[in-house]
Amino acid sequence: MANPVTHFEIHGKDGKKAQAFYASLFGWEIDANNPMNYGIVSPPDGKGIGGGIAQAQDQPMVTVYVEVDDLDATLKSAESLGAKTILPPSDVPGGPRLALFADPDGNMIGLAQAGSM
C-alpha cells in the first residue's frame, strides 16, 4: 500500500463514555491524561494502528488518517477529483501535521504528513 492508514479517530457525543465503551469492548488501554482529554489508543504489541477517542465537536464520526508525503499536493489532487477541503494543513500542538477533506460522498478522510505522527 503506497499510502498506509496510520491513525483512526472516534468522536462520540460523550468522549469519556465513548472511551469507556471501547476500552470495555476491545480491552483497549486508553490514555486521556492530557489537556484535551483526547484518549490515545496505542496498538498492542505493535499490531494494528493507533488512534484516538474524543468528544465530538459537532456530530459523532469516525475518521481514518492516510499518511502522505505532501498534504497540499494531496488536497489539491483530492479537490480535482471532487473532494472538498475541510481542514487545510495544520499542526496539532505537540503532535502531527494533519489535514481533512470530504470525499465526493461527504465522508471525512484525514491526511497525516509523513514522519509527523
Note the pLDDT tens digit of each residue in 69-87.
Answer: 999 999 999 999 999 999 9
Scan for cell 470495555, then name that residue: 24
In this structure, what CATH number is given to the domain that contains residue 102? 3.10.180.10
Interval 31-68: pLDDT, tens: 999 999 999 999 888 788 999 999 999 999 999 999 99
What is the tally of structural domains in the chain?
A: 1
Domain span at residue 18?
A: 5-113
- Residue 57 near residue 12 (C-beta atoms within 8 A): no
Strand locations in the chain, DSSP E? 5-12, 30-31, 39-41, 50-55, 61-68, 84-91, 97-102, 108-113
